[in-house]
Amino acid sequence: MGKKLFLSALASLALFVASASAEEDLKTNMYKLNNHMIQMQAAFIQGNKADALKAVSALQEESHALFDHESNIKKMLPENKRFKSHIAVTSAASIQQDLETIKESMDDTRRDTAQNAYLNIQRACMRCHNLVRDW
């Protein structure tokens, strides 16, 4: 193998490894979102306000890291879906908004508002996944 060919093979291997690990990172972070959602659901079912708020804070932290920058969101999408990235961006923004809504409506009279916001978050997760996976 010529030296040039070898180097370019090495470079594409490095690129492949880098993108595979970016994919792994994304999945790891997504599983964190999922865990926080499961905790929040359990807290709502049990009527445990403190645990629900804990899950909201954890989810807010993760979602800031993942969704704050539009360029980050676009990078998550397969090439052939990037022209529809506005769907991903609005899903991500609505998650952030609904987390705020939950925090603001956790008194005893607006539980419905908080719980609806939780359900809206579920919908936003699925909206982005449907875009990614063509369902």
Residue corresponding to tokens 């579920």 = 122
C-beta of residue 128 within 8 angstroms of C-beta of residue 91: yes
Closer CB to ligand HEC, 114 or 128, in the complex: 128
Our CB check for ligand HEC shows the closer of 37 and 58 to be 37
Closest CB to ligand HEC among 6 and 31?
A: 31
- Three-state secondary structure call for residue 105: coil
Nearest-approach distance from CB 52 to ligand HEC, in angstroms: 15
What whole-number distance in Å separates Cα of residue 122 and Cα of residue 41?
Answer: 10
CB atoms inside a 10 Å sphere around CB 104: 12
Whether 91 and 132 have beta carbons less than 8 Å apart is answered as: no
Shortest distance (Å) from residue 112 CB to ligand HEC: 20
Nearest-approach distance from CB 29 to ligand HEC, in angstroms: 8
**Measured from the CB of residue 47, what is the shortest distance to ligand HEC in angstroms?**
22
| Residues contributing to the site for ligand HEC (CB under 6 A) | 26-27, 30-31, 33-34, 37, 73, 76, 88, 91-92, 95, 121, 124-125, 128-129, 132-133
Query: Which residue, 56 or 73, has its beta carbon nearer to ligand HEC?
Result: 73
Q: Terminal CA-to-CA distance of the chain, rounded, Å?
A: 44
- If one counts every other C-beta atom within 10 angstroms of the C-beta of residue 56, the result is 25
